[in-house]
Every structure is written in structure tokens, then in C-alpha cells.
């Protein structure tokens, strides 16, 4: 694990500078902050969507800022929650007078940040609703005090709630579809290698060749169990059993199926994995209405992937298909 | 380097199956072949574009098949030229009566394949023109008998010639813009790690931590020299000196600037690199008219990147901007 950077402590601001230059006209970085905002914010009369969290998950979340998706994405240091000042600056920049939805991944630091930001919004008379994403089925509620982690399913909350806001819906309605996605989305991940935070000497866990870690999170944290590496078919089957059993997903359901690369897994492997996911679902009578294969929420240079399933009805699919200008959004 | 696959020798067909399922309606795999073709081929009256080469460079080339780009992409085994039978089957499927352009990366096996395919086309009365891409400035003409390698700049040939064909241009005109891109595009790559062909025991070269290899190709071949790992700024400066000095690119030029990940390099690093590329060019008075940051032509799980510059005039930029349905094409 070797990195092409200038200085570890400059990696996030320099990345954000590169993003803003590469996607000029769509996004910009708020001066003095690490917040990515829509270049045309505020959009008067539209509900604004703000999310945020640690960096290291690119393209999440800055790549999902743009018309039809997010209005602002706060970028903390790698795997660290963003500062309150950036949340306040973003609120003031993107509030269009119709209220703000906070989309929050279920981590203690992020929850605390957005609780404080909600108070700041109240001081400014800005109505706020919150949507807490906790889609990782690898972690049972009983295993930790904070419950399930928010992972790649968060991208679908951004997309669908963002489309609802773009259509001019009220804050209550945007919040309603965000919660509908959250109730119907499930994710699980695995890794072949850990990742390394810039500036650190060693990763949070080690894996020997021929081993894999099932149930990893997106912050370099180890998974729920270690096993010998199996075939793509066996790995997918094991993960899909857990995911589909959780909601549960049933024959006749239509789903959005996302195979998400964790950062260092070649597209060749992601397509081999998707091939297995589609076959598994076909065997259960579940139809993939919208496939997604690529990198949506990564963990630096971790090798591995996650599978996300969203049970979708006509309303959610219509919002999924709504046009979107965010640089990293890709329907497939 | 560990892989999530079923069997190494099934990796390519299973990947193609996954691609076709994920992008149904846009692409399909010709039965009995490893050729990806437009689902709506042939398009009557349109010049057809066919490319191909070894697998392991995903999303190239199958991800660039679709309206406004390629009509067919032949996928060989990993890093091996495709078979003639697949070329013949593709010719017969995509020929729309207006002739066919072959886009060929400069490797002996690929050239031989398309020479044979040209004879087969002649037997069938199908007019063919060929465009040979040799954009890698790391390799001097004098260093090998075959000259410069064709690398990531090939994607811009696909895009721009594909747009010209989509506008209804003649075979001569489609060939003319393909050659115009080829004359004006230059690329150079570097790596931090090698890659491993599925089923093999070890990579073609090894790199110690703290080393980098400058001038690598896209087939796991070593570069032109090995150096201690430097900062992103120093690496970019060294590569850009070579690229811009080659054409040469001059103050006042407008360019398409692509930062292409080789497979395992996180988007965070690619944006840090793009930030340096843009600064370097600004310092030379060269304007980035169209930035591209992402994975376009990879080398399995190699960590590293390439930089491609295309000197573009109004005609090339207009074709660059032409709408495109290929799954992996992404502007911005």
C-alpha cells in the first residue's frame, strides 16, 4: 500500500481542489472549508440535501453533489467526521428556503455533528429533517451500542431523495422517500486486503494471502469473520443469503442491485461478481430492475466489494431514473 | 494480489456475461464469441467502428460500445489478441453498409488480427479503413521494432470517431478525424505495483515499497526506468515534461486532459494528481477544455496512473461533446 500524494495531511484539500477543477460548473469547494457544494446553490424553493462524513470513500460524497442529487457534502479528514463550521457554512450556502434534509450514515461522530448542525439550523429558522442510514446487515443491532453501520446504500438515499427534491417536493415528502429507501435497502461487504490511512504506518487489520474478511465496514475496520478465500459464486451466495434473508426480499420483488468496488478491485472482478448476483436473484424469482456496477462508496485502496439491494416500487424506480448531473452518478 | 473469481480461465467470459446483463439493451455478447456488440447493430447507413485487444483493461473496450461510440469490441484472453473468428462474426453483425473503421492499438498481435480481418472484409465486399493508435511517449520509436504502444489515448479515438460516425459521416471522414486524434494525442504511465494475470503465479515485474516504475505499459510490462517514489507534484511534472515536449503542446493550446487510474489507485489520489496536472498546464498557458478523471483503460489491479493529453480544436471538442450511450463513457 503505497500512495501517490504530496503530503498526507494535504491529501483531502488537494483532492477537493482537483475535484472542483475537474467538475467546474457543477460543484465547488466552499472557501475556507472542506465542503463540496452545488455551484449554483442555493436553488430557491427547493429542499436542500446535505450529507457528509470522513474522506476516503470517494466518489462519496462530493461526487454525488449536483442537480438531482445532493446540494452539499461535508468532507472530514480521512475516516473522521467533518467539523461543525463546515456544516454551518454549507447550511447558509445551500438553504433555498424550503428546508434541509440531512442524510447521515450511522456513526457516532456523524450523528453528533448533524445533531449540532440541526441546532444551528434552528437558530437560523431553517427547518431540518434527518434521515439516518444503517444498511449494513453484517452488524446486528445487538452487537454494538450504535447499531448497524451506514454504508453503500447511502448513495441510493442521495439519489432518490435528491430526485424528489429536484421535482419540487416538500421537506416532508423528501424525508418520506428517504426513509422509504432506508427501510428497503440492505448491504454487505467483504475484503481481500485492508486499507491504509495516509500518514499511518500500518492498516487496522492484516489478511494473509488466501484469506478473506467477511462483513467489513468502510473505514478499514475488520469484518465479522475471517475465512479461506472461496470462489466468487460461493462468496456471493453467502453474502446474498444474509442480505436477502434480512428484509426479507421475496420472489416477485424488483430490486436495484449494486455491486460496489471498495477501491482496488478491478472492474473485471466486479462484473464476474455481478454475474453471480444476477444469477442468485434469478434463482429466487427476484428481478433486477436497475443494475449498478462500479465504485460508489470506497475505502481507499481496499480490495473487496459490497453488494447492496434496494427493494423498489414504481415510485422509487421513477426517482432512480430522474435525470442527475452529479459527476459520479452513473446509471447502468 | 488476490482475486475474486470462479476459475481463472472463465474470468473473461463470466465478466462479459456480467457486463451484458448489467447493460442490457445497450450491449450484448455475440453468441459463441467474446465480442461485445451494440444491441441494436447493425445501424443501417452508419460507418461501424470495431476495436479489440486483450482483456484486463476494463472498462476498455466493451464498456465503450454503444450509440455514439463503438459498434463492436473484441475481447481476447487477458492481455492476448482476440481470435479472427470473433472479428469475422462482429464484421457480419455490425456492418451497416457504409464501411467499417478498425481502431487498433499498436501491438504486433492486434495488427496481425486486423490485417486478416481486413482481408475477410474485402472478401465480403465491406470497405475498411484502419486507424493505428501509438500514443505512449514513454517508448521511443527507435527503442523497438514495433514503435510506440497504443494506450489510454485510444479511448479518445473511440469517442471522437464514434461521434463522427453517429453524425452520419462517410468512412473517409470518420477515418480522417480518427487520424486527427491520433496525431494530436500523447500518453505516459507509471506504476506503484505490477498486476497479475489470472492463473499465473507471479507478476511480470516486482517493485519494492518506496519504488515506482515510470513508463509502464498496460500489459503488466515493466516501464522504462525505476526510481524512488516521489511526491505527486514531482511525478506529474516529470511525466508532463515528457508528454508536452513530444508533440509539442504549446501555450494557447486547448487540451482534453485525462488522468486514468490503472485499476487499484483510489479516486482520492487521481484527483490529487489531476490537481497537479491542471496546475502544470496553467503554468504553461495551456487550457484544459475537457477534464477526465477515472478508470478508462486499466491493467487489472495495477496501482498507478497514466496522463493523456489531446490537443483539440473546435471540431474535436464538438465531437467529444456529442451524446454517447456507452456504459463507461463519462465526460467531466
Predicted confidence band at B330 (pLDDT cuts at 50, 70, 90)? confident
Of A153, A183, A213, the domain-final residue: A183
Same domain for A40 and A169, yes or no, is yes
In a domain, A137, yes or no: yes
pLDDT category of residue B204 using cuts at 50, 70 and 90: confident
- Helices and strands per DSSP (H, E), number in chain A: 8, 12
* Residue of A206, A258, A268, A299 to mutate, testing the B interface (most B Cβ within 10 Å of its Cβ): A268
**Confidence at B47, pLDDT banded by 50, 70, 90:** very high
> Do residue B70 and residue B35 come from a single domain?
yes
Residue pLDDT, tens place only, B37-46? 999 999 999 9
Pairing of strands A287-294, A254-261: parallel
pLDDT confidence of residue A48: 98
pLDDT greater at residue B147 or residue A286? A286
Active-site annotation holds for A57: yes
pLDDT of residue A143: 52
In terms of domains, do A166 and A98 share one?
Answer: yes
Q: What is the pLDDT of residues B125-148, one digit of tens each?
A: 999 999 999 999 998 765 555 789
Question: Do residues B154 and B211 both lie within one domain?
Answer: no
Statement to judge: residues B159 and B233 lie in one domain: no
Q: Is the distance from CB of A278 to CB of B18 less than 8 angstroms?
A: yes
- Domain endpoint, select from A183, A208, A239: A183
In a domain, B138, yes or no: yes
The answer, as to whether pTM is greater than 0.95, is yes
Q: Which three cell numbers stand for residue A90?
A: 454549507
Q: Could you tell me the pLDDT band of residue B205, with boundaries at 50, 70 and 90? A: confident
- The residue range of the domain holding A161 is 14-183
Contact A272/B5, CB-based, under 8 Å? yes
Instruction: With respect to residue A289, please indicate whether it lies within any of the assigned structural domains.
Output: yes
Residue B7 belongs to a domain: no
User: Does residue A301 lie in a domain region?
Assistant: yes
- Span B291-321, pLDDT tens digits: 999 999 999 999 999 999 999 999 999 999 9
Q: Give the confidence band of B250 by pLDDT, cuts at 50, 70, 90.
A: very high
A23, A57, A61, A158: which is the annotated catalytic residue? Answer: A57
Q: Is A322 a catalytic residue?
A: no
- My answer on whether A157 and A254 are in the same domain is no
Chain A residue numbers with beta carbons less than 8 Å from the beta carbon of B301 are 264-266, 303
> Is residue A243 over pLDDT 70?
yes
- CB of A196 within 8 Å of a chain B CB? The answer is no
Does residue B167 sit in the same domain as residue B99? yes
More confident site: A107 or A142: A107
Confidence of residue A224 (pLDDT cuts 50, 70, 90): confident
Cα gap A78→B323, rounded to integer Å: 36
Q: Looking at the complex, report in whole angstroms how far the Cα of residue B325 sits from the nearest Cα belonging to chain A.
A: 10
Q: What is the mean pLDDT of chain A?
A: 95
Same domain, B54 and B191: no
> A187 pLDDT exceeds 80?
yes
Chain-wide mean pLDDT for chain B? Answer: 95
Pick the last residue of a domain from B183, B214, B233: B183
Counting Cα atoms < 13 Å in the Cβ hemisphere of B73 gives 30
Question: Is residue B331's pLDDT more than 80?
Answer: no
Chain A segment 95-114 residues within 8 A of B by beta carbon are none
In a domain, residue B331? The reply is no
The edge-to-edge listing of strands for the beta sheet with A211-214 is A225-228, A211-214, A185-191, A304-311, A254-261, A287-294
Q: Which residue of B has its CA nearest to A7?
A: B231
The structural domain count of chain B equals 2
pLDDT digits (tens, 9 = 90+) for A20-43: 999 999 999 999 999 999 999 999
What CATH number does residue A135 fall under? 3.40.50.10440
Rg (CA), chain A: 19
- A113 and A158 in a single domain? The answer is yes
Quick one: A60 and A134 in the same domain?
yes
Residues A197 and A170 in one domain: no
Q: Is it the case that residue B159 has pLDDT exceeding 60? A: yes
Question: Among candidates B83, B33, B81, which has minimal Cα distance to B57?
Answer: B81
> Does the ipTM surpass 0.90?
yes
Asked which of A235-249, B1-15, B82-96, B270-284 is least confident by mean pLDDT, the reply is B1-15
CATH number of the domain at A247, please: 3.30.1180.20
pLDDT of residue A238: 96
- Percent of chain A whose predicted confidence (pLDDT) is above 90: 90
pLDDT at residue A233 is higher than 60 = yes
Q: Do B192 and B161 have their domain in common?
A: no
- Would you say residue B58 has pLDDT above 70? yes
Test A264 with B303 for CB contact under 8 angstroms: yes
Q: Is B235 on the interface with A (CB under 8 A)?
A: yes
Residues A2 and B192 sit within 8 Å (Cβ to Cβ): yes
Distance CA B228, CA B226 (A): 7
Domain presence at residue B4: no
Exposed / middle / buried, residue B178 (Cβ in 10 Å: 0-12, 13-18, 19+): buried
Residue B329 lies in a domain: no
Q: Measure CB to CB from residue B327 to each of A15, A264, A332 and give the nearest one.
A: A332
Amino acid at each position: 500500500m503505497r500512495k501517490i500524494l504530496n503530503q498526507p495531511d494535504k491529501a483531502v484539500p488537494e483532492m477537493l481542489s482537483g475535484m472542483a477543477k475537474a467538475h467546474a460548473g457543477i460543484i465547488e469547494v466552499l472557501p475556507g472549508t472542506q465542503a463540496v457544494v452545488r455551484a449554483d446553490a442555493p436553488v430557491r424553493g427547493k429542499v436542500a440535501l446535505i450529507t457528509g462524513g470522513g474522506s476516503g470513500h470517494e466518489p462519496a460524497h462530493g461526487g454525488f453533489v449536483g442537480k438531482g442529487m445532493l446540494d452539499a457534502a461535508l468532507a472530514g479528514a480521512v475516516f473522521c467526521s467533518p467539523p461543525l463550521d463546515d456544516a454551518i457554512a454549507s447550511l447558509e450556502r445551500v438553504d433555498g428556503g424550503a428546508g434541509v434534509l440531512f442524510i447521515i450514515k450511522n456513526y457516532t461522530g456523524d450523528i453528533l455533528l448533524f445533531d449540532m448542525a440541526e441546532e444551528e439550523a434552528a437558530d437560523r429558522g431553517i427547518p431540518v429533517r434527518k434521515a439516518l442510514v444503517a444498511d449494513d446487515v453484517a452488524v446486528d443491532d445487538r452487537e454494538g451500542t450504535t447499531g448497524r453501520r451506514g454504508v453503500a446504500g447511502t448513495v441510493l438515499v442521495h439519489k432518490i431523495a435528491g430526485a424528489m427534491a429536484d421535482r419540487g417536493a416538500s421537506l416532508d415528502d423528501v424525508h418520506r422517500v428517504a426513509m422509504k429507501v432506508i427501510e428497503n435497502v440492505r448491504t454487505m461487504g467483504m475484503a481481500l486486503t485492508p486499507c491504509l490511512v495516509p500518514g499511518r504506518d500500518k492498516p487496522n487489520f492484516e489478511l494473509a494471502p488466501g484469506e478473506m474478511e467477511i462483513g467489513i465496514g468502510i473505514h478499514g475496520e475488520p469484518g465479522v469473520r475471517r475465512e479461506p478465500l472461496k470462489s466468487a459464486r460461493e462468496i456471493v451466495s453467502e453474502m446474498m443469503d444474509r442480505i436477502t434473508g434480512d428484509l426479507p426480499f421475496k420472489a416477485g420483488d424488483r430490486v436495484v442491485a449494486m455491486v460496489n468496488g471498495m477501491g482496488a478491485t478491478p472492474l473485471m472482478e466486479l462484473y464476474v461478481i455481478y454475474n453471480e448476483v444476477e444469477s442468485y436473484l434469478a434463482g429466487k424469482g427476484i428481478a433486477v430492475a436497475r443494475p449498478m456496477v462500479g465504485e460508489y462508496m470506497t475505502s481507499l485502496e481496499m480490495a473487496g466489494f459490497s453488494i447492496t439491494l434496494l427493494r423498489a416500487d414504481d415510485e422509487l424506480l421513477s426517482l432512480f431514473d430522474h435525470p442527475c448531473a452529479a459527476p459520479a452518478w452513473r446509471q447502468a
